[in-house]
């Protein structure tokens, strides 16, 4: 196996435009993987609104959003700490602060730990104990189950490890209501099933990176036909599961229409990828089209989830 050799990072020279404190702040923020945190937060507030049938108290919203962001950031920072050896072998991650030397492993570990403690404290005080314990479970699942156990051992890593990304909807539901009703578990399953067709196309684009680092992502080691077939199967499962929110949790007409429309579009994108793979015309661009499309699909779905209680009351349907 060919392994890329990482060159020693060149020391940065402080400039008037970028003082040390600003570089350090950017480095700490990058440890939290802001794009991932942002995507997780997209599901949080809509879930709270739907679970309560209206707007929760702003203090609970603030505590849940901040606590959830800190929990996700803590898990991501621990991930960067544990994966620093393979991050230097991958072009996609070679500029992370532990690879460049902007931060030391000890600084990253302390930062991740402090962020995790703050996350649990904020959720416990600002929301409730159930939300706090779910925050602990989310960090544990991502750091231990996914990063330490599954990621480097099995091509099924993103399926089971991706369950960590499902916890924000449970935290949100618990924060809003103090319980976990069946609707919360339906939303958990939606994100659980959505994660593979979301991430596998991305891993196809960065297949060489994962092969260099010997990380067995399915998209990096399986052929396009196999990966695209799995994407189609999981996309269908995701859309079907999303529709269960109507009979199980009483979602209204707005959510139902949005789930059908956006789900149909997501299935079209997935089947198109499959068709291109079978005809051997699939490219990184077509794979990334499904990756970006999956984000649009989830955003539309949860936007509809947030608006559904208000639309139902307004029109009486």
Taking only the tens place, the pLDDT of each residue in 105-130 is 999 999 999 999 999 999 999 999 99
Rounded to whole angstroms, how far apart are CA atoms 105 and 249?
45
Q: What is the location of CATH 1.20.120.1780 in the chain?
A: 181-317
User: What CATH superfamily is the domain 29-158?
Assistant: UbiA prenyltransferase (1.10.357.140)
| Residue 89: DSSP 8-state | T
Write the pLDDT tens digit of every residue in 168-180. Answer: 999 999 999 999 9
Structure tokens at 179: 């319980």
CATH 1.10.357.140 segments of the chain: 29-158
Specify the length of the chain in residues. Answer: 317
User: Once rounded to an integer, what is the mean pLDDT over residues 153-158?
Assistant: 85
Does 8 have pLDDT greater than 50?
no
- Predicted model pTM: 0.89
The pLDDT tens digits for 37-82 are 777 778 999 999 999 999 999 999 999 999 999 999 999 999 999 9
Which class for 142: exposed (0-12), middle (13-18), buried (19 or more C-beta within 10 A)? buried
Written out in words, the top-level CATH class of the domain with range 181-317 is: mainly alpha
What is the model's pLDDT at position 37? 78
Answer whether 254's CB lies under 8 Å from 311's CB.
yes
Q: Can you read off the two tokens belonging to residue 83?
A: 């994966």
pLDDT tier at 14 (50, 70, 90 boundaries)?
Answer: very low
Q: Which of 111, 187, 191 is nearest to 159 (CA)?
A: 191
């Amino acid at each position: 196996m060919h392994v890329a050799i990482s060159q020693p990072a060149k020391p940065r020279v402080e400039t008037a435009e970028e003082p040390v404190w600003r570089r350090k702040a950017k480095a700490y923020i990058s440890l939290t993987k802001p794009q991932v945190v942002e995507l997780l937060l997209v599901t949080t507030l809509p879930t709270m609104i739907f679970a309560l049938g209206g707007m929760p108290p702003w203090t609970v919203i603030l505590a849940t959003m901040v606590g959830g962001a800190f929990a996700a950031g803590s898990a991501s920072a621990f991930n960067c700490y544990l994966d620093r050896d393979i991050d230097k072998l991958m072009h996609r991650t070679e500029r992370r602060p532990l690879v460049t030397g902007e931060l030391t492993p000890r600084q990253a570990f302390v930062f991740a730990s402090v962020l995790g403690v703050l996350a649990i404290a904020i959720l416990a005080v600002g929301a409730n104990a159930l939300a706090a314990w779910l925050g602990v479970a989310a960090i544990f699942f991502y750091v231990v189950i996914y990063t330490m156990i599954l990621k480097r051992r099995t091509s099924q890593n993103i399926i089971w490890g991706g369950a960590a990304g499902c916890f924000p909807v449970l935290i949100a539901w618990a924060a809003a209501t103090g319980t976990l009703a069946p609707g919360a578990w339906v939303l958990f399953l939606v994100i659980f099933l959505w994660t593979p067709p979301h991430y596998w196309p991305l891993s196809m684009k960065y297949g060489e990176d994962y092969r260099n680092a010997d990380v067995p992502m399915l998209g990096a080691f399986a052929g396009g036909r196999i990966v695209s077939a799995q994407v189609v199967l999981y996309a269908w499962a995701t859309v079907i599961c999303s529709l269960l929110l109507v009979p199980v949790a009483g979602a209204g007409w707005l959510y139902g229409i949005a789930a059908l429309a956006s789900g149909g579009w997501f299935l079209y994108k997935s089947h198109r990828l499959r068709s291109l793979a079978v005809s051997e015309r699939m490219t990184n661009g077509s794979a990334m089209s499904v990756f970006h499309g999956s984000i649009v699909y989830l955003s539309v779905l949860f936007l509809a989830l947030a608006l559904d209680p208000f639309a139902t009351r307004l029109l009486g349907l």
